């Protein structure tokens, strides 16, 4: 399984719209590269799947193609975890105004399917035959290709419009877990440890480093946008509440206020790595 990290940031990317914090200004001033919303490109035996359809999907697909010298711009399929803007808005590039894709396979949960089919302009992608929605039954393995499967694992994450899932990709040689968004590890730590015990690598929610970074920015409150902090994640790993003995943890989905988004460190300890954008 080949994994390319196509984005590491929270839904709005970095620089973030209307923000002039230090992290955003480093990119605006040319000191750092732009960070795209969290996304993976996974390939196995010539099958390629894009994980998340972000608002920067057009750039991510082009750079993914260039990085690997792929013949085609579009992958074989796209898979989406939930109905927040940074994870599905890029579907619009598949419409007749841009790529006019021909029944591009998009894997979603049943609730996410209902959301797409009930809301224009996304419903138009279905009726126009630009995308073909394929259902991910919660907790069941779905065969993506002859050598790659995926299992959707439901988690709590506000869910204003649909449900939210983590994605467990499995091939004969390895398994990879992708979970960019969850409200809290509370109530999920045992299940997470069980998942990690079968994985080689996991990409986990690291939106905020701690709860102090947002109130200083426009008075926003992290309790209104719940995510486990990096500090909390590291504490639970150190205390053995989350067991990472058999799995590398790669932190991803950094808010533009999170200092790790531009960190030059490779890892925070022997098993927790800071995800770096490959494109």
Structure tokens at 111: 């609730």
Mean pLDDT throughout 261-267? 95
Query: In the 8-state DSSP scheme, what is residue 97?
Result: T
Alpha helices in the chain (DSSP H): 22-28, 57-68, 85-88, 110-118, 122-127, 189-196, 230-238
Report residue 155's pLDDT band, with 50, 70 and 90 as the boundaries.
Answer: very high
Distance of CA 23 to the CA centre of its chain: 20
Beta-carbon count within 10 A of 73 CB: 12
Mean pLDDT throughout 227-240? 94
221 has a pLDDT exceeding 90:
no
Domain 2-274 fold is Metallo-beta-lactamase; Chain A (3.60.15)
Predicted confidence at residue 243, as pLDDT, reads 86
What are the angstrom distances between the C-alpha of 140 and each of 57, 210, 247, 275? 27, 34, 22, 28
For the chain, give the number of residues.
279
| Predicted TM-score of the model (pTM) | 0.95
Q: Where are the domains of the chain?
A: 2-274
Predicted confidence at residue 216, as pLDDT, reads 58
Report residue 220's pLDDT band, with 50, 70 and 90 as the boundaries.
Answer: low
Structure tokens at 162: 């649909």
Q: Where are the beta strands (DSSP E) in the chain?
A: 2-7, 39-44, 47-51, 77-79, 104-108, 131-135, 141-145, 148-155, 164-170, 175-179, 201-205, 248-252, 272-274
pLDDT tens digits along 48-81: 999 999 999 999 999 999 999 999 999 999 999 9
Predicted confidence at residue 246, as pLDDT, reads 83
């Amino acid at each position: 399984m080949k994994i390319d990290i196509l984005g590491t940031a929270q839904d709005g990317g970095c620089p973030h719209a209307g923000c002039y914090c230090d992290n955003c200004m480093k990119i605006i001033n040319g000191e750092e590269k732009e960070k795209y919303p969290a996304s993976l490109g996974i390939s196995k035996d010539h099958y390629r799947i894009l994980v998340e359809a972000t608002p920067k999907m057009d750039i991510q697909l082009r750079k993914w193609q260039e990085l690997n010298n792929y013949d085609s711009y579009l992958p074989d399929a796209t898979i989406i975890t939930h109905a927040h803007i940074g994870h599905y808005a890029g579907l619009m590039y598949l419409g007749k105004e841009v790529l006019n894709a021909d029944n591009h396979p998009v894997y979603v949960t049943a609730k996410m399917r209902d959301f797409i089919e009930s809301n224009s302009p996304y419903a138009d992608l279905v009726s126009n035959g630009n995308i073909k929605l394929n259902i991910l039954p919660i907790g069941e393995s779905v065969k993506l290709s002859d050598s790659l499967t995926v299992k959707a694992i439901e988690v709590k994450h506000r869910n204003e419009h649909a449900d939210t899932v983590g994605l467990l990709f499995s091939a004969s040689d390895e398994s990879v877990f992708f979970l960019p968004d969850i409200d809290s590890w509370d109530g999920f730590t045992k299940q997470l440890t069980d998942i990690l015990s079968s994985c080689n690598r996991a990409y986990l929610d690291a939106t905020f480093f701690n709860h102090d970074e947002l109130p200083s920015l426009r008075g926003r409150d992290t309790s209104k946008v719940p995510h486990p902090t990096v500090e909390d994640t590291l504490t639970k790993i150190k205390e053995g509440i989350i067991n990472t003995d058999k799995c590398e943890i790669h932190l991803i989905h950094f808010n533009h206020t999170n200092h790790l988004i531009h960190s030059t460190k490779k890892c925070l300890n022997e098993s927790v790595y800071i995800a770096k954008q490959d494109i």
